[in-house]
Chains A and B, each alone.
Chain A
């Protein structure tokens, strides 16, 4: 049973560029959430997708956007990258009803120079 997968594992970008990160949820899961983990901090919620719609959003600017596809996989897009966007980006999948937890992928490490 494949768990949550994310790609790429590492990425280096320069300020002002745009980036797209990808996530495939655990088999059978219908909900995908994205988190940003800065160095020395806990993960911070960015947004959650269900039925291809954003249903919850954390305190992140509009530069952060996402998408969910009919197969439940998801993308996180960040425009106009800032140095402060350097972080580990984590994807988590779950069941919208009855899910006891969110299962996390290994993350994508983004470095903005």
Chain B
């Protein structure tokens, strides 16, 4: 039973436009959410996180939105750049992200077309 779902395996976006990656979760105990980016032959790299007490968190070109009632979060990348092309994983934790296991989605492969 998948507790974190990323229903779009892939997404293509034109350079300069907005990329929106979506994630749904089912476990009500999750209270901390993270996005990681992964290039081939590398480990996942932390991008941005959000606590369940917030509904938005921004860091430069990256913004994460959380809708607790819908159990849905999204990552917005504006503007998208070719270097953003990678696999993006949504992850969730029931407790502090440093001290509790992370549950990951299957990932969305983002391709930014120049």
Q: How far is the CB of A110 from chain B (nearest CB, A)?
A: 14
Q: Which residues A85-101 have CB closer than 8 A to chain B?
A: 90, 92, 94-101
A98 (CB) vs chain B CBs: closest residue: B98
* Contact residues of A: prevailing secondary structure: loop
> Does B67 sit within 8 A of A, measured CB to CB?
no
B4 (CB) vs chain A CBs: closest residue: A42
**Which of A43-51, A65-73, A75-83 lines the interface with chain B?**
A43-51
Q: What separation, in Å, do the CA atoms of A56 and B96 have in the docked complex?
A: 13
Interface size class of B (residues with CB under 8 A): 20 to 34
Residues of chain A lying within 8 A (CB to CB) of residue B89: 42-43
Residues of chain B lying within 8 A (CB to CB) of residue A48: 101
Do the beta carbons of A101 and B49 come within 8 Å of each other? yes
Indicate whether A106 sits within 8 Å of B96 (C-beta atoms), given known contacts A42-B106, A101-B49.
no
Residues of chain B lying within 8 A (CB to CB) of residue A31: 98-99
Do the beta carbons of A94 and B44 come within 8 Å of each other? no
Binding site for A on B (CB under 8 A): 4, 6, 34, 36, 41-46, 49, 89, 91, 96-107
